[in-house]
Amino acid sequence: MAITSPASPRRSGRRHPLATAALLIVGLLATGGAYALATSTATAETTAHTAEMVEEGGKLFAANCASCHGILADGTAAGPSLIGVGALAVDFQVGTGRMPMAASGPQAEVKPVQFSQEQIDAMGAWVAELAPGPAIPAERYFAGDGDVANGAELFRINCAMCHNVAGAGGALTEGKYAPGLANIDPIHVYGAMVTGPQNMPVFSDMNLTPEEKNDVISYLRYIDENPSVGGFDLGSLGPVSEGLFIWIFGLGGLVAVTVWLTAKSN
């Protein structure tokens, strides 16, 4: 009688049902780990760059601004606190040359800018670290490509009473004045609306949305690029200068002609 060996198990050639899931999990872990490593490296580089900028801004502030605003920017008798004003206020005040002030007066005047844009950004970064405040907006909000007609209406309603409907500026009380708005850098127009420097009110996003601010900037750019269609603008000071012109030259001319005709007849 022959002895038969037990039959060896047959291989089906099929993987275990959990093998696919295991491979998928391993792939996801590997991909996630690589992404996390890359993200951590990029974040560390960005943080280091920001820290370096803030440090440089602190040095510039201490050398040029602390004598009035305090070494911690908490204000002195000579200058207000800057805690919470944000980088946008720094960009406006320093970027237009208003700060540092040359001398005390009713308001800071526009002067040649004393710092590079990189230095201004560094000081803004340092001030922004002190407390939350208005930041530099996205470029699309001051691109000047908005609705000119809507911007003109918004300007007449909110700005013309001080800056004149043509943006020529005007006198205020106690030696103060609303500056002319011709050929102003759009970011500084936006910064003025948001931060409210000097006597200007603050226009928050509840008053004027960022898109509406861009419309106002678009209107100001339009009047920069289009000369007066009515002839001599007479300083764009409105009916006062126009009426004075009529009285002096119009009536004066009539009187001169009348005198000439009378003298000729005699």
Q: Are residues 54 and 123 in the same domain?
A: yes
Alpha carbon separation from 220 to 61, 118, 145, 181 (Å, rounded): 32, 27, 11, 7
Both tokens assigned to 11:
């291989």
Q: Please write the tens of the pLDDT for every residue from 134-182.
A: 999 999 999 999 999 999 999 999 999 999 888 888 888 888 999 999 9
262: in domain: no
32: in domain: no
Q: Are residues 141 and 233 in the same domain?
A: yes
Q: Are residues 129 and 154 in the same domain?
A: no
Quote the number of domains for the chain.
Answer: 2
Known binding residues for heme c are 65, 68-69, 159, 162-163
Choose among 134, 139, 91: nearest CA to 113.
91
Q: Are residues 187 and 117 in the same domain?
A: no
Question: Residue 16: its pLDDT value, please?
Answer: 63
23: in domain: no
Q: What is the mean pLDDT of residues 188-198?
A: 95
What pTM, to 2 d.p., does this model score?
A: 0.71
- Cβ–Cβ under 8 Å, residues 111 and 43: no
Q: Are residues 107 and 152 in the same domain?
A: no
Q: What is the CATH number of the domain that holds 221?
A: 1.10.760
Known binding residues are 65, 68-69, 159, 162-163
Q: Are residues 156 and 126 in the same domain?
A: no
Provide the domain limits for residue 127: 40-135
- Cβ–Cβ under 8 Å, residues 88 and 136: yes
